[in-house]
Amino acid sequence: MFFICYTICQILNTKYKTMRISYSALDTYQSCPLKYKFQEIDKIKTPKSKEAVFGTTIHSTMKFIHTPGILSPTLDQAMEHFTNSWNPAVFDNPDEERAAFSQGIQIIQKYYQSNNPKDFNIIDLESRFNIKIGPIKSAESGPALREFDGVNSDNHIVAGIIDRIDKTDDGYEIIDYKTTKKMPSQEKVDNDLQLSVYLKAFLKRYPKEIDNLDKIKVSLYYLKHGVKLSSTRTLEQLQKSEQLFLDTIKLIEASKFEPAISPLCDWCGYQNLCPMWKHKFKELRKVDTEEANKAISEYIELKSAISITKDRLEKLQADILQYMDQEGVERVFGEDGIIARTLRKTYKYDAQKIREILEPLDKWEDVLKVDGIALRNILATLPFAAKKEAEKAKIIDKESKSLIVKKK
């Protein structure tokens, strides 16, 4: 997955020195340790690149195509989803934006030419995971299923998101989408660390499948080329992948953050902070006071206009909602389009009740370490009776009404 739909974070626990890291963070460190420091430790934000935005939009469309339903989306529906998700503002000029949009449409068309969405048995999409790496707790657990030993300082957590998991005729397939222009060799896929991490996460979810590793495929689908490269893994490879994470974490803990020059520097958002590129930006540090004042004034003016527009929209929405209540309708029609009313509810769980349900099942600690999305994933794995009790603990957090506009 391009952005791998991971949330990248690093948490150092002072008691156990536990680090939480993702594959993409590890990959960043391997390509440039200093960039890792800027991104993961200093938390310096940079604008999302156009390549990242493009990849995010394509991944969103792939999820839309394969989301289970009574009928699979048609090619036209998939292209409509892509179009509605498209953000032209990130591109430097109209020609570049048009070329990128056309490429996205071609990717979707090519995918439908080679794949029929209804032919796949999808187990999960964008599956979040947290796996623990470190010393083996017991000899029986094996190198692929290490367990967390709370008293050992060498245990760490690897987090991420798997794009897609399929059930095949004789096993499973773990798939990650790629929107990169360059396609690697089969040898590189056979040793790809990301796929090994995904397989370890899969085995945590389905531990009995460790006896069927030869029937579990791990695949990188290169969407621009319409080519899927697949491989398998051995227990030895899984063990080596874990050791690579541990070795890299030791370097991070030792504050080894030297800059590394590579072709990737051309796309790096931290050039102005990097000592290897400092001279390039010497003129940009001289701020033109007159230009700065003009920018400040224009920004304040635009912010005021946005505020006025927002207030007016809120007033109009309130008037329209009141009219809908008065007329007893959910949709109203104007000369320029249709406005439909939607009701949005968000829920939260009673913490005490959830704790009473999860603690006896040894799941409470997992909830404390992760977010609400992971809580939903944990609840999905509970026994039916426990799941039913958990649903009773759900209460409405917020309820809001909004309007959806569809132009003619």
Domain termination residue (choose one: 253, 277, 309): 253
C-alpha to C-alpha distances, 96 to 51, 102, 104, 105, nearest whole angstrom = 12, 10, 12, 14
What is the DSSP annotation of 203-261?
HHHSGGGGGGGGGEEEEEEETTTTEEEEE---HHHHHHHHHHHHHHHHHHHTT------
CB atoms within 10 A of CB 333: 10
Same domain for 34 and 153, yes or no, is: yes
Let me know whether 332 and 230 are in one domain.
Answer: no
If asked whether residues 214 and 315 sit together in one domain, one would say no
pLDDT digits (tens, 9 = 90+) for 175-218: 999 998 889 999 989 988 899 999 999 999 999 999 999 999 99
Of 253, 274, 307, the last residue of a domain is 253
For residue 274, being part of any structural domain is answered with no
- Pick the last residue of a domain from 225, 253, 281: 253
How many domains is the chain partitioned into structurally? 2
Please tell me whether residues 300 and 233 are part of one structural domain. Answer: no
Shared-domain flag, residues 109 and 248: yes
Range of the domain at 201: 20-253
| Whether residues 237 and 99 fall in one domain | yes
Same domain, 222 and 351: no
Phi and psi torsions of 174, nearest 5°: -105, 125
Please choose, from the candidates 209, 131, 220, 204, the residue with its C-alpha nearest in 3D space to the C-alpha of residue 172.
209
pLDDT tens column, 357-400: 888 888 777 766 545 566 666 776 667 677 777 777 777 766 76
Q: Would you state the pLDDT for residue 169?
A: 92
For the chain, residues with pLDDT lower than 70 are 1-17, 135-154, 279, 281-293, 296, 367-377, 380-382, 384, 397-398, 400-408
Q: What is the pLDDT of residue 239?
A: 87
What region does 268 belong to: left with phi over 0, alpha with psi -120 to 50, or beta? beta
Read out DSSP for 61-93? HHHHHHS--SSPPPHHHHHHHHHHH--GGGSSS
H or E element, residue 129: strand 122-133
| pTM of the complete model | 0.61
Q: Is 298 helix (H, G, I), strand (E, B) or coil?
A: helix
* H helix and E strand count, the chain: 13, 9
Q: Is 154 helix (H, G, I), strand (E, B) or coil?
A: coil
